[in-house]
């Protein structure tokens, strides 16, 4: 009951923030140097006089700013994010077409980072001053400091020329197209390097977080209680300590979707992964503003969704939030 | 009657920053008879809790048992392999902790946390464990046990949480229950309830209790025997009635002087001069060979300063004390 | 737990210290910092990198934008780090590019910290409707992925060094703001603040002289890390072709040479390694500072 109200309030808040993002987009178009129509058409769109005139009419560019804004919002409300003259198709279709590839990549990287990061952190927390623990600390520092595009390029160099056992370009084998199960396997092979590259940064963060939280959990009174009950060590660590360790990690992971997505833009560019990130790169290169603006909006939409989902999961896992403190 | 628990010359040390061993508990020996209550008394930092954790072999990482024997029902606890030690914990001996809020895992229901003991030690299935947990919750006098079994720790009051801890400790039908300051974190009114509950459960289950406390009122009421610890050393031991009425060691006397005495029917005195013991327990590493209480002792004389810590010697059949002036102080 | 009962009282009341004594905890933290080997190593690395960036160009006066030889020349005695796809000297790029990269990082981080401090301090100090507004603004910036937002800004306003710096500084201040707000809210109700208020201190005075010095320790670590993030952002933007083509920077070298990685790995690997080392040094310093300033997080030895 209280949960439903809370969720409804969050969704209303999210919608308000997303409208604010649209207003921001609108402002940016008008603040940018040059004629807004040029921005809307995209500099490299090769907009003819005809097209420009049509755009002026469509976006009411001779009317007041407020009217222009309402026209813009009304267009977006029916799913019209403008037309990409470079790709020669509506922006919405373009984005929906690229969305799945990006979701594969980000979700794959996220699960890998969560699993590997937690595992490394938990194992190193067992002996906080041991050699393994120090190794994990060093690796996580390095993983945090290494620019993601550079790591990607180095892996590309390694697997592209030195040791070519994994595909480094694209999402599928274009020369020998596969079908059915072989297709899935092919995508999986192409997914390895991009998702590993993307995961590295987050593995670094989560292993650190897991290590700190696990050390804290292992010294907590309830863990001592669990041991005093005569429970075996795997149950003490795997149930009592782990659940308490996971909550902050899941929360942080959920609230980092924006960084994950931004990382995907760089990784997709390195490995020519045909997702939204690659789309961002292409639209930057072609000054295709409508697409770029729409991607910004959709990334905010994804971040909002991730935040709300995280909140729901958090409430499910932590009874203190679910049932309310007394 | 043979002892349930026999602790013989137990020594515990802490490894400090530079790797040196610093004594925490020295030459501690005592026995607990089946169904009896032994109280461990002393200020904070005297090694009471460490004694309890040593018995459970749950000492923090930096602490080590350097020598001594702990025998429970004829089994040498310190020689047991880890697996057998685990099967002992929670069944043959179990423990109640000071802070019922932090000692319970906030993320699992109390039913789950009590049921764990039953499922693990007695192999009960979920349904059987559940009905047994409800029985246990009733035994510790938790009202509406059928509903409370699904409650999370934060939904219960401090007293209720401690009752849950007690139910958890009793789930494995232990022969020895170690209660480490079970009421320190609770309201005064609840403290008495918990002590009453412990006494009643002891009558019905026949478990022996090792009660760690600085509540001397509770000791007088509950304990058959008591042991006074100071700076990790036992300085007075014996029947609790005897010690409470006729303490011999200056430290024990000091402790007893700190307890306010109220008598029913008598108006409280306008100014009750509560005693206090000046100074503090010497910190770890600053404990030499001489009597640990020397620096704070008002009765110390040249003998005390010249000689090391005296041995614990009997002054009566059920009373032993570690003090050079034990005979002079008798009066 | 290895903490013994008697030691637990030592650290608690520290935060109640009034601002006047702030200097001595600072010296204390510095002494603590020098005890952390990784923090000192990071500081040394960072000083070395800064020295190279400051003094290097006069010691190695090769214009990084000049074509000095054939393209794709591998590292050898003439050009220690080889030449890039146009025949520019990679070593010159590393030395001169460090200036731009570090400058962008430092200035952008400064902007980040100033915005974050102002938003967080104002919200946390005044509370109520002002706080709610500040929180909403922060929330709004939080849902926009910072790097993506910066990309859009730089694309729209053109890839110039100033635009890039402003864009990076303007998008990633939310964590500083949240931290500052939390610190201010905590400090606001402490007795020494109430005392200053009762003594008639103005709001500006309270914020700048009383609260800010006490909130800084909590913020200083994330401020340090902000420099590293800004450097990574500069690299990311340049990598996507949004670097200033007229000013050599490590990111620009990477971005321009990445298509030729199979022909000249050195022109990609070295600038990336430079970014990596700089960010690593900064995060080592950040870690050391964190351990020195926030004692409760200090690792138990």
> Following DSSP, what letter does each residue of A43-108 receive, concatenated?
GGG---HHHHHHHHHHTTTTS-HHHHHHHHHHHHHTT---EETTTTEEHHHHHHHHHHHHHHHHHH
Subunits with 3+ C-beta pairs closer than 8 A to A: B, C
Q: What is the Cβ-side half-sphere exposure of residue B55, based on CA atoms within 13 angstroms?
A: 31
pLDDT at residue A36 greater than cutoff 60: yes
Residue A152 scores a pLDDT above 70: yes
Task: Please name the chains neighbouring B, where neighbouring means 3+ C-beta pairs under 8 angstroms.
Answer: A, C
Instruction: Determine contact, residues B28/B9, Cβ cutoff 8 Å.
Output: yes
Question: Which of C155, C258, C268 is the closest to A287 by Cβ?
Answer: C155
* Model pLDDT, residue B208: 93
Distance of CA B30 to the CA centre of its chain: 13
Closest CA to A123 of A140, A102, A106: A140
Q: How far is CA B298 from CA B259, B312, C269, in A?
A: 19, 20, 76
The secondary element (H helix, E strand) that includes residue A150 is: helix A148-157
State the Cα–Cα distance between residues A29 and A47, nearest whole angstrom.
17
Is residue C146 classed as helix, strand or coil in its secondary structure? helix
What pLDDT was estimated at residue B264?
57
C29, part of any domain: no
User: Does C13 reside within a domain?
Assistant: no
pLDDT at residue B292 tops 50: yes
Closest to B309 measured CA to CA, from B224, B249, B243: B249
Closest CA to A113 of A92, A134, A144: A144
Q: Which SS3 state, helix, strand or coil, does residue B6 take?
A: strand
Ranking A127-131, A184-188, B198-202, B264-268 by mean pLDDT, the lowest is B264-268
Measured between CA atoms, how close is B124 to chain A, in angstroms?
A: 15
- Reported as a single tens digit per residue, the pLDDT across C80-119 is 777 777 778 878 888 888 888 999 999 999 999 999 999 9
| Half-sphere CA count of C11, side-chain side, radius 13 A | 10
B105 and A240 in contact by Cβ < 8 A? yes
Higher pLDDT, B44 or C238: C238
**Element counts in chain A: helices (H) and strands (E):** 15, 2
Closest alpha carbon within chain C to B46:
C5
Mean pLDDT of chain A: 86
For A24, the token pair is: 């921001």
A157 pLDDT above the threshold of 70: yes
- Give the span between the Cα atoms of C279 and C273, in whole angstroms: 10
Q: Name the token pair of C257.
A: 């040479």
Is C152 at the interface with chain A, CB within 8 A?
yes
Beta strands in B59-122 (DSSP E): 63-72, 75-76, 93-96
Residues C172-191 have pLDDT tens digits of 899 899 999 988 888 888 88
Per-chain mean pLDDT for chain C? 81
pTM of the predicted model, to two decimals? 0.82
| Closest by CA position to B39, among listed B201, B285, B242, B200 | B242
Which of A88-97, B156-165, C48-57, C213-222 has the weakest average pLDDT?
Answer: C213-222
A2-16, A98-112, A156-170, B84-98: least confidently modelled range = A156-170
Q: Please state, in angstroms and rounded to a whole number, the distance separating the CA atoms of residues C192 and B18.
A: 39
Give the domain extent around C262: 35-300
Rounded CA separation A237/A240 (Å) = 6
- Count how many pairs of residues, chain B against chain C, have C-beta atoms within 8 Å: 14
Give the residue on A whose Cα is nearest the Cα of C262. A157
- The answer to whether residue C12 sits within a structural domain is no
Distance in angstroms between the alpha carbons of the first and the last residue of chain A = 17
How far is the C-alpha of A307 from the C-alpha of A7, rounded, in Å?
11
Span C63-85, average pLDDT: 73
Q: In Å, how far from its chain's centre is CA A127?
A: 33
Searching chain A, which residue's CA lies closest to the CA of residue C271?
A150
Residue A208 with chain C: CB contacts under 8 Å: none
Q: What is the pLDDT of residue C300?
A: 37
Q: Mean pLDDT of all residues in chain B?
A: 85
CA distance A193 to A200: 11
- Chain B CB contacts of C10 under 8 Å are none
**% of residues, chain B, pLDDT over 90:** 30
**A133 vs B: CB within 8 A:** no
Of the listed ranges B96-105, B239-248, B267-276, the least confidently predicted one is B267-276
Q: Are strands A89-90 and A83-84 parallel, antiparallel or unpaired?
A: antiparallel
- Is A80's pLDDT higher than 50? yes
Whether A228 sits inside 8 A of B95 (CB atoms) is yes
Query: CB distance from B61 to chain C under 8 Å?
Result: yes
d(CA C45, CA B37): 64
Residue count of chain A: 326
CB A150 within 8 A of CB C235: yes
User: Nearest CA of chain A to the CA of C66: how many Å?
Assistant: 25
Give the whole-angstrom CA distance, residue A296 versus residue A299: 5
- What is the separation of C-alpha C132 from the centre of its chain, rounded to a whole number of angstroms? 27
Instruction: Give the closest residue to A212 by CA, choosing from C291, B294, B20, C80.
Output: C291
| Three-class secondary structure of residue C33 per DSSP | helix
Interchain CB distance below 8 Å, B120 and A235: yes
Strands B37-41, B208-213: pairing is: parallel
Nearby residues of C169 by Cβ (< 8 Å), 6 or more positions away = C107, C108, C109, C110, C111, C112, C115, C230
Residue C11 falls within a domain, yes or no? no
Residues from chain A contacting residue B90 (CB–CB below 8 Å): 228-231
Instruction: Say which residue, A35 or C249, is predicted with more confidence.
Output: C249
- From the list C2, C5, C301, the residue facing B45 with the nearest CB is C5
- Asked if residues B87 and B171 have their Cβ atoms less than 8 Å apart, the reply is no
Cβ-Cβ contacts under 8 Å, A247 against chain B:
107
Please indicate whether, in this complex, the C-beta atoms of B107 and A224 are within 8 angstroms of each other.
no
pLDDT for res C119: 94
Question: Would you state the structure tokens that stand for residue A323, as one six-digit string?
Answer: 């049932």
Residues 274-293 of C with CB under 8 A from A: 275-277, 279-280, 282-284, 287
Contact at CB, B17 and C4, closer than 8 angstroms: no
Q: How far apart are CA A146 and CA A140, in angstroms?
A: 10
The answer to whether A320 contacts B172, with C-beta atoms less than 8 Å apart, is no
The predicted-structure confidence for A111-148, as pLDDT tens digits, reads as follows 999 999 999 999 998 888 888 888 888 888 888 899 99
Spatial distance between the Cα atoms of B296 and B253, rounded to a whole number of angstroms: 13
Q: Which helix (H) or strand (E) holds B238?
A: strand B233-239
**pLDDT at A323 > cutoff 70:** no
Is B231's pLDDT higher than 80? Answer: yes
Neighbours of B87 (CB within 10 A): 16
User: At residue C22, does pLDDT exceed 60?
Assistant: no
Contact yes or no for C143 and A21 at CB 8 A: yes
User: Residue C128 belongs to a domain with what CATH number?
Assistant: 1.10.3720.10
Q: Is B16 on the interface with C (CB under 8 A)?
A: no
> Chain C contacts of B45, Cβ < 8 Å?
4-6
Most confidently predicted of B155-159, B300-304, C8-12, C54-58:
B155-159
Residues 6+ apart with CB under 8 A from C71: C83, C84, C85, C86, C87, C264
C-alpha of C73 from chain center: 35
Q: Is residue C24 part of a domain?
A: no
Give the number of domains in chain C: 1
Whether C301 and B17 lie within 8 Å, measured CB to CB:
yes
- Asked if the Cβ–Cβ distance from C2 to B17 is below 8 Å, we say no
The reply to whether C26 touches chain A by the CB within 8 Å rule is: no
Cβ–Cβ below 8 Å for C144 and A161: no
**What does the block give as tokens for C249?**
């920077």
**Is residue C15 in some structural domain?**
no
Question: Do residues A293 and A216 lie in contact, with contact meaning Cβ atoms separated by under 8 Å?
Answer: no
> Closest Cα partner for B50 from B80, B101, B10?
B10
ipTM value, please give it.
Answer: 0.88
pLDDT over 60 at C6, yes or no: no
Give residue B331's pLDDT: 59
Residue B41 per-residue DSSP state: E
Q: What is the predicted pLDDT for the residue at C298?
A: 42
């Amino acid at each position: 009951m209280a949960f439903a109200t809370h969720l409804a309030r969050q969704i209303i808040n999210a919608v308000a923030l997303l409208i604010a993002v649209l207003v921001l987009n609108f402002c940016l178009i008008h603040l940018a140097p040059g004629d807004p129509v040029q921005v809307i058409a995209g500099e490299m769109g090769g907009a003819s006089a005809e097209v420009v005139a049509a755009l002026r009419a469509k976006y009411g560019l001779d009317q007041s700013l407020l009217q222009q804004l309402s026209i813009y919002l009304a267009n977006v409300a029916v799913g019209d994010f403008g037309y990409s003259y470079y790709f020669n198709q509506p922006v919405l279709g373009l984005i929906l077409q690229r969305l799945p590839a990006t979701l594969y990549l980000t979700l794959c990287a996220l699960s890998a980072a969560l699993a590997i990061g937690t595992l490394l952190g938990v194992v190193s927390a067992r002996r906080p001053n041991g050699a393994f623990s120090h190794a994990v600390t060093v690796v996580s520092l390095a993983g945090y400091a290494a620019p993601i595009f550079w790591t990607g390029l180095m892996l590309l160099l390694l697997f592209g020329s030195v040791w070519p056992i994994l595909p480094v370009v694209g999402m599928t084998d274009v020369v020998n197209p596969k079908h059915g199960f072989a297709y899935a396997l092919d995508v999986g092979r192409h997914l390895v390097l991009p998702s590993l590259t993307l995961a590295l940064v987050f593995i670094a963060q989560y292993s650190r977080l897991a290590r700190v939280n696990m050390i804290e959990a292992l010294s907590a009174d309830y863990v001592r209680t669990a041991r005093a009950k005569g429970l075996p060590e795997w149950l003490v660590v795997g149930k009592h300590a782990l659940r308490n360790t996971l909550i902050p990690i899941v929360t942080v992971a959920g609230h980092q979707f924006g960084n994950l997505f931004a990382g995907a833009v760089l990784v997709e560019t390195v490995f020519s992964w045909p997702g939204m990130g690659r789309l961002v790169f292409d639209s930057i290169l072609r000054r295709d503003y409508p697409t770029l603006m729409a991607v910004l909006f959709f990334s905010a939409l994804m971040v909002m969704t991730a935040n709300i989902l995280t909140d729901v999961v958090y409430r499910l896992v932590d009874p203190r939030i679910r049932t309310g403190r007394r | 009657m043979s002892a349930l628990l026999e602790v013989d010359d137990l020594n515990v040390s802490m490894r400090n920053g530079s790797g040196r061993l610093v004594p925490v508990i020295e030459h501690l020996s005592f026995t607990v008879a089946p169904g009896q209550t032994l109280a461990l008394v002393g200020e904070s930092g005297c090694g009471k809790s460490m004694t309890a954790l040593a018995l459970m072999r749950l000492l923090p990482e930096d602490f080590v048992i350097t020598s001594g024997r702990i025998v429970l029902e004829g089994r040498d606890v310190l020689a047991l392999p880890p697996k057998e030690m685990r099967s002992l914990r929670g069944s043959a001996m179990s423990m109640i902790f000071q802070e019922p809020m932090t000692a319970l895992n906030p993320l699992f229901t109390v039913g789950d946390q009590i049921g764990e003991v039953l499922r693990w030690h007695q192999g009960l299935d979920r349904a059987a464990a559940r009905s047994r947990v409800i029985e246990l919750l009733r035994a510790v006098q938790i009202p509406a046990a059928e509903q409370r079994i699904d409650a999370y720790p934060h939904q219960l009051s401090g007293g209720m949480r401690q009752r849950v801890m007690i139910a958890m400790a009793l789930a494995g039908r232990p022969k020895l229950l170690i209660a480490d300051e079970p009421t320190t974190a609770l309201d005064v009114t609840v403290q008495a309830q918990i002590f009453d509950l412990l006494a009643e459960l002891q009558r019905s289950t026949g478990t022996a209790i090792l009660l760690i406390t600085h509540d001397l009122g509770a000791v007088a009421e509950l304990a058959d025997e008591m042991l006074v610890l100071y700076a990790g050393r036992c300085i007075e031991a014996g029947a609790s009635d005897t010690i409470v009425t006729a303490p011999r060691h200056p430290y024990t006397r000091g402790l007893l002087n700190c307890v306010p005495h109220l008598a029913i029917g008598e108006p409280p005195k306008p100014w009750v001069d509560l005693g206090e013991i000046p100074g503090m327990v010497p910190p770890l590493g600053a404990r030499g060979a001489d009597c640990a209480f020397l620096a704070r002792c008002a009765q110390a004389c040249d003998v005390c300063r010249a000689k090391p810590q005296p041995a614990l010697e009997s002054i009566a059949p059920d009373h032993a004390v570690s003090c050079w002036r034990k005979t002079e102080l008798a009066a | 737990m290895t903490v013994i009962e008697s030691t637990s009282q030592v650290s608690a009341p520290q935060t109640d210290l009034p601002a006047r004594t702030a200097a001595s905890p600072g010296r204390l933290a510095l002494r603590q910092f020098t005890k952390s080997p990784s923090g000192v190593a990071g500081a040394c690395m960072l000083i070395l990198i800064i020295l190279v960036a400051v003094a290097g160009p006069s010691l190695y006066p090769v214009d990084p934008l000049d074509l000095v030889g054939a393209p794709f020349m591998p590292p050898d005695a003439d050009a220690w780090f080889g030449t890039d796809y146009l025949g520019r000297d990679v070593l010159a790029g590393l030395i001169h590019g460090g200036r731009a990269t570090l400058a962008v990082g430092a200035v952008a981080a400064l902007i980040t910290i100033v915005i974050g401090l102002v938003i967080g301090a104002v919200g946390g100090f005044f509370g109520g409707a002002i706080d709610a507004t500040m929180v909403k603004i922060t929330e709004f910036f939080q849902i926009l992925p910072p790097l993506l937002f910066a990309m859009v800004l730089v694309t729209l306003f053109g890839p110039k060094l100033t635009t890039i710096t402003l864009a990076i500084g303007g998008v990633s201040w939310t964590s500083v703001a949240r931290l500052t707000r939390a610190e201010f809210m905590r400090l606001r109700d402490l007795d020494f603040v109430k005392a200053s208020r009762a003594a008639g201190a103005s709001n500006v005075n309270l914020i700048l002289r009383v609260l800010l010095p006490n909130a800084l320790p909590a913020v200083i670590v994330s401020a340090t890390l902000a420099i590293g993030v800004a450097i990574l952002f500069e690299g990311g933007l340049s990598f996507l072709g949004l670097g200033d083509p007229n000013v050599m920077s490590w990111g620009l070298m990477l971005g321009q040479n990445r298509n030729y990685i199979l022909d000249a790995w050195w022109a990609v690997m070295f600038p990336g390694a430079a970014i990596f080392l700089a960010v690593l040094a900064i995060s080592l310093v950040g870690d050391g500072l964190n351990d020195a300033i926030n004692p409760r997080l200090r690792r138990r030895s």
